């Protein structure tokens, strides 16, 4: 608990440190709302988000990615755990213990982009009102003229025509709406942007445009991204590091290239093998098809939650839950995995060449 802020000497670059984050939802039934169980949506999750990096949070639907990001920004209050937030050399503050008024200030620096740009923009407000709303609420503008000027700048920043600021969202396509949502997120000059599947609702061709825009903005503004996605393909171009989630837990976390080329968790291996592979040389590598359903966070199997679907499972996996353990030597970039046999298994990733050609193509 006390090592929360600087664990293993690696927390020094962290802008957000998540420690032992837990979010349980009670399952209620009957007229009297008796609690009959718990959905362990997020179960003891810890990681650091470093200043200026893009960390991708990846996993199948229902594994708790959205809940994790909501618990970081305190849109939902976590059941337990800490979320430390630090700007520059100031003392880290624990967001989970903050009152509403202080949170309002902290949230100026941590902003969110939602998955569905049709639902995340109020159809009854113009771009000026939508993008200007945070500026107004936080008293950042003194006059209507200043507001217009600021919103125009923001529209230019996301490559939209500033003359459109009196239009309503219904005048824009999905990709354009997501740009509007990005402009709103950036209006308060935040340090951290949490993008919850920010491109998965868009057409593939538009996805690349938005991903490029996010990358450019990161360079221009020095942003830090927590990038939530449900498959690895999108993440490849975007992320410096990847955290893989399964059933409310992080099962593997490491640098993107390392994780792709030599995964250390069978679930990561399966995800990599499921991602579309454009490289003809390795096109015929065997696809690992996961059998069985995603673990139900309301009724998790004992031991390692992944064992019923794991090709390599042994008796130990059914009995003991593997902790997230460091695999790389001191001095090397961190690579952690929660598998009993992480150092014994030799799992298939993708060739390093494939990864770089993909990156160049992007």
Partner 1 sequence: MTQTADVRTVQTEAVAEQADERVLVASQWQLVRWRFLQHKLAVISLIVLGLFYSVAIFAEFVAPYDPTEFREELTLAPPHKIRFVDPEGNFHLRPFVHPFEKTLDEVTYAAIFIEDETVMQPLGLFVKGDPYKLWGLFESDIHLFGLQDPDARLSLLGQDTVGRDLFTRIVYGSRISLTIGLVGVAMSFFLGILIGGLSGYLGGTVDMVIQRIIESLRALPTLPLWMALSIALPHDWPVVRTYFFIVIILSTVGWTSIARVVRGRFFALREEDFVGAAELDGASNLRVIFRYLLPSFMSYIIARLTLAIPQMILGETALSFIGLGLQPPAISWGVLLNDAQAIRVLALSPWLLLPTAFVVVSILAFNFVGDGLRDASDPYSHV
* Footprint of partner 1 (CB under 8 A): 73, 75, 104, 107-108, 111-112, 114-116, 119-124, 126, 133-134, 137-138, 159-161, 164, 166-168, 170-173, 175-176, 179, 184, 206, 209, 213, 216
Shorter beta-carbon distance to ligand ATP: residue 61 or 163:
61
Choose among 7, 43, 27: nearest CA to 305: 43
Shorter beta-carbon distance to ligand ATP: residue 65 or 184:
65
Report the nearest approach of Mg ion to the CB of residue 162 (Å): 32
Task: Return left, alpha or beta for 253; rule: phi > 0 is left, psi -120 to 50 is alpha, else beta.
Answer: beta
Report the nearest approach of ligand ATP to the CB of residue 310 (Å): 20
Binding mask of the shown chain, residues 64 to 103, with x at each position contacting Mg ion by CB under 5 A: --x-------------------------------------
Question: Does residue 277 belong to the site contacting Mg ion (CB under 5 A)?
Answer: no
Choose among 96, 29, 91, 37: nearest CA to 68: 96
Choose among 188, 189, 190, 215: nearest CA to 198: 215
Sign of CA dihedral 90, 96, 99, 102: positive
Binding mask of the shown chain, residues 50 to 69, with x at each position contacting ligand ATP by CB under 6 A: ---------x-xxxxxxx--
Sign of CA dihedral 169, 175, 178, 183: negative
Using CB under 6 A as the binding rule, the residues of this chain from 203 to 242 that contact ligand ATP are: 230
Report the nearest approach of Mg ion to the CB of residue 245 (Å): 11
H or E element in which residue 337 lies: strand 335-337
Measured CA to CA in angstroms, residue 48 lies from 12, 20, 122, 229, 238 at distances of 9, 11, 33, 18, 17
3-state secondary structure of 41: strand
Binding mask of the shown chain, residues 27 to 66, with x at each position contacting Mg ion by CB under 5 A: ---------------------------------------x
Residue 275 binds what, of partner 1, Mg ion, ligand ATP, none (CB under 5 to 8 Å, by partner type)? Answer: none
Asked if residue 26 lies in contact with residue 231, where contact means CB atoms within 8 angstroms, the answer is no
| Strands of 13-68, DSSP E | 14-29, 34-50, 54-58
Report the nearest approach of Mg ion to the CB of residue 65 (Å): 5
Shorter beta-carbon distance to ligand ATP: residue 43 or 255:
43
Report the nearest approach of Mg ion to the CB of residue 113 (Å): 13
Shorter beta-carbon distance to partner 1: residue 58 or 131:
131
Query: Among 25, 118, 168, 237, which residue interacts with ligand ATP (rule: CB under 6 A)?
Result: 25
Sign of CA dihedral 294, 299, 305, 307: negative
Binding residues vs ligand ATP (CB under 6 A): 25, 39, 41, 59, 61-67, 230, 297
């Amino acid at each position: 608990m006390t090592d929360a802020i600087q664990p293993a000497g690696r927390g020094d670059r962290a802008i957000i440190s998540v420690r032992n984050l837990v979010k349980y939802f009670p399952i209620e039934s009957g007229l009297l709302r008796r609690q009959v169980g718990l959905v362990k949506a997020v179960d003891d999750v810890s990681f650091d988000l470093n200043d200026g990096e893009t960390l991708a949070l990846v996993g199948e639907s229902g594994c708790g990615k959205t809940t994790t990001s909501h618990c970081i920004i305190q849109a939902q209050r976590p059941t337990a755990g800490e979320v430390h937030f630090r700007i520059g050399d100031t003392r880290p503050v624990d967001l989970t213990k903050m009152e509403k008024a202080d949170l309002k200030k902290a949230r100026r620096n941590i902003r969110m982009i939602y998955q569905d740009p049709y639902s995340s923009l109020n159809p009854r407000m113009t771009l000026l009102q939508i993008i200007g709303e945070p500026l107004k609420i936080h008293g950042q503008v003194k006059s209507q003229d200043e507001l217009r000027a600021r919103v125009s700048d923001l529209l230019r920043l996301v490559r939209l025509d500033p003359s459109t600021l009196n239009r309503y969202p219904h005048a824009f396509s999905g990709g354009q709406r997501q740009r509007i949502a990005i402009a709103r997120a950036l209006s308060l000059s935040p340090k951290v942007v949490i993008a919850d599947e920010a491109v998965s609702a868009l057409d593939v061709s538009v996805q690349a445009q938005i991903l490029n825009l996010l990358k450019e903005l990161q360079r221009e503004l020095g942003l830090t991204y927590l990038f939530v996605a449900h498959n690895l393909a999108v993440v490849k171009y975007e992320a410096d590091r990847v955290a893989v989630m399964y059933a409310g837990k992080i099962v593997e976390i490491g640098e993107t290239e390392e994780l792709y080329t030599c995964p250390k968790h069978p679930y990561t291996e399966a995800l990599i093998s499921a991602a579309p592979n454009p490289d003809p040389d390795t096109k015929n590598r065997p696809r690992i098809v996961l059998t069985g359903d995603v673990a139900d966070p309301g009724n998790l199997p004992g031991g390692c939650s992944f064992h019923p679907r794991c090709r390599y499972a042994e008796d130990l996996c059914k009995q003991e839950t593997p902790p997230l353990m460091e695999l790389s030597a001191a001095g090397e970039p961190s690579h952690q995995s929660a598998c009993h046999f992480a150092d014994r298994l030799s799992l298939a990733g993708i060739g390093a060449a494939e990864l770089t050609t993909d990156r160049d193509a992007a």
